[in-house]
Amino acid sequence: MNTIIPKAKEKYFQHPQTYALCHYVIKDNTIYRKCHGEHVGFKMFSDAILLSLSR
């Protein structure tokens, strides 16, 4: 995964207002998130789904 994020940034984030990417990891029933890009407000929808599944 460490090589994919830089490649994605190089390819898609030439215009930072057009793309956003969130990487999720679920470990020990805890959700970790790292987002890249300017508009990452959509994360609340993914967060809600993952939180309901982790309960």
**End-to-end Cα separation, the chain, in angstroms:** 26
What is the value of pTM for the model shown? Answer: 0.64
Backbone angles phi, psi at 25, to 5 degrees: -130, 130
Output DSSP code: residue 21.
Answer: E
Q: Which of 4-8, 9-13, 25-29, 38-42 has the lowest mean pLDDT?
A: 9-13
Number of domains forming the structure of the chain: 1
CB-based contacts of 17: which residues, under 8 Å, 6+ apart?
A: 38, 39
Q: Identify the pLDDT of residue 32.
A: 94
pLDDT tops 70 at residue 1: no
Q: What is the pLDDT of residues 22-52, one digit of tens each?
A: 889 989 989 999 887 777 788 888 889 988 9
The domain of 37 spans 4-54
